[in-house]
Amino acid sequence: MCGKLSAILLAMKIWRDTSYEGMPEDGRRMKDERSRMASGKRAVAQRLGPFALILNIAFSSAISVGRTISPAPLIFGGLSIGRLCLIIGLLWGGLASCAKIADPRPVQVLIPRPATQLSGVQRGEQIELRCPPPDRNTNGTPVTTLRQIDIYRLVENRTYQPAGITSAEFARRAQKIQTISVEDLPRYRKGDTLIFTDTPAFTDRSTLYRTSLRYAVTFVNEKSKYAGFSNFFFISPMTIPLSPALNPPTGLEEAIELSWSYPEQNLDGSRPPKIIGFNIYRSLDPDPPAGPPLNGEPIRGVRYQDRSFEFGKTYYYSISVVANSDSPYVESLPSKPLAFTPKDIFPPKPPTDISVFGQVGEIRLAWAASAEADLAGYSIYRSQTSGTGYEKLNKNLLTATTFRDTNLPSGRPYFYVLTATDHSGNESRPSEEVHEIPE
């Protein structure tokens, strides 16, 4: 029976024991009886809670009805008809309230999905791990309860063909090497990627090159729960050279040229240095580069031209040594970033295909439009002597490719040259001279 029904049965007993008709008329005993009845009702009220008020009202109503029906109440086991009806009604309601209720809904625990794109690369004697930040829980809802990211590392016997391993075995053997709180994650975020760096510390430095390393991460929620390990990233570190220093860049009209020298030895002092090629990195700030290299494949030589640049913008270049031929590449740490701001000191080409026409009191000129991307406009110079003494006719740069030189006396020759100017203020050399005589 449910708790409410048990309370109702208790009420039956207390009210039966405290509500007999025909109490003695002696005032003192009636006072005692009333006191005992009040105590019983208070006990019922404590058990029934909000049902107590209903019982009290119903009880009072039943007594009133019973007394109205008959001045001599009918007794059934010490209960009047009115009170018996009341108790039957309460029992019926109690049984109804004991009907089976719906199963409680389980508490929803939000746990971020495990990472599936953990990757990495060796940079010098460091391992750089990368993975996207968690964005969804296991039930598909957005991540809102992330507390930390834990990074695990397992040191294994040296091999280039990693053996399979279960998550349970990895959990038993791996070491947690880093815990990053959700408040610190912005420090590790580069765009849409989280970047973590591990520097394995061994008593003997050469141990790093005699072992293999396996990594995994977990996304832990506020209740210290996680949905499992990420995919495993496996790497066998190689001994590689230090990065060379970049020579001062050279600014060309269409490229920034970088150059460097070959390193002479590996990090552990061994020779010859393991070099497959080089990677060039560029960024707009002096922080270590986070994006891919400028070159698609490792550079085999000692020169590289960056052709995707803008004059006046400062770039930071660094270089790394690539020690293997397969991706993911094993690289040295990038060199110290070298800042360079290319300046546009290169004038455009002069106008070509100039046509000149003499008319009454004027000469008209026309020319082909320049193909220069940063062209600002044109200027026209005139002289009455061929090859010298030119004067500029336009105060502001011309943007059209035609010009009328008016108010000219007839019968006298005039000589013209044109120039083009770019947005950096560089003016081209003069075009070929043309001449005409107005009519």
Q: Using H for helix, E for strand and C for coil, what is the string for 196-259?
A: EEECCCCCCHHHHHHEEEEEEEEEEECCCCCCCCCCCEEECCCCCECCCCCCCCEECCCCEEEE
Mean of the pLDDT values across residues 184-213? 91
Q: Which of the residue ranges 60-74, 196-210, 278-292, 423-437 has the most confident prediction, judged by mean pLDDT?
A: 423-437
Chain-centroid distance, C-alpha 108: 25
**For position 295, what pLDDT does the model report?**
94
39-43, 117-121, 347-351 — which is least confidently predicted?
39-43
> Which of residues 93 and 433 earns the better pLDDT score?
433
> Which of residues 311 and 5 earns the better pLDDT score?
311
Split at pLDDT 50, 70, 90, the class of 247 is very high
**For position 95, what pLDDT does the model report?**
46
**For position 329, what pLDDT does the model report?**
75
Region for 281 from its dihedrals, namely left if φ exceeds 0, alpha if ψ lies in -120 to 50, beta otherwise:
beta
Percent of the chain with pLDDT over 90: 59
> Which of residues 138 and 268 earns the better pLDDT score?
138
**For position 191, what pLDDT does the model report?**
86
> Which of residues 257 and 439 earns the better pLDDT score?
257
Residue 321 has pLDDT above 80, yes or no: yes
**For position 49, what pLDDT does the model report?**
53
Q: What does the pLDDT look like over 118-174, one tens digit per residue?
A: 999 898 899 999 999 999 999 999 999 999 999 999 999 988 778 789 999 999 999
Mean of the pLDDT values across residues 60-64? 46
Residue 20 has pLDDT above 80, yes or no: no
Distance CA 343, CA 365 (A): 33
Q: What does the pLDDT look like over 373-395, one tens digit per residue?
A: 899 999 999 999 999 999 999 99
Residue 8 has pLDDT above 80, yes or no: no
**For position 287, what pLDDT does the model report?**
83
**For position 108, what pLDDT does the model report?**
74
> Which of residues 301 and 205 earns the better pLDDT score?
301
**For position 21, what pLDDT does the model report?**
46
Going by C-beta distance under 8 Å and a sequence separation of 6 or more, which residues neighbour residue 24? 30
First CA to last CA distance, the chain: 124
Split at pLDDT 50, 70, 90, the class of 43 is low
> Which of residues 31 and 255 earns the better pLDDT score?
255
- The number of CA neighbours under 13 Å toward the Cβ of 165 is 24
> Which of residues 208 and 63 earns the better pLDDT score?
208
Residue 81 has pLDDT above 80, yes or no: no
Split at pLDDT 50, 70, 90, the class of 109 is confident
7-16, 225-234, 396-405 — which is least confidently predicted?
7-16
Q: Which residue has the tokens 């507390």?
A: 147
Mean of the pLDDT values across residues 261-276? 88
Q: What does the pLDDT look like over 392-425, one tens digit per residue?
A: 999 999 999 999 999 999 999 999 999 999 999 9
Give the amino acid at 400.
A
**For position 288, what pLDDT does the model report?**
74
Split at pLDDT 50, 70, 90, the class of 61 is very low
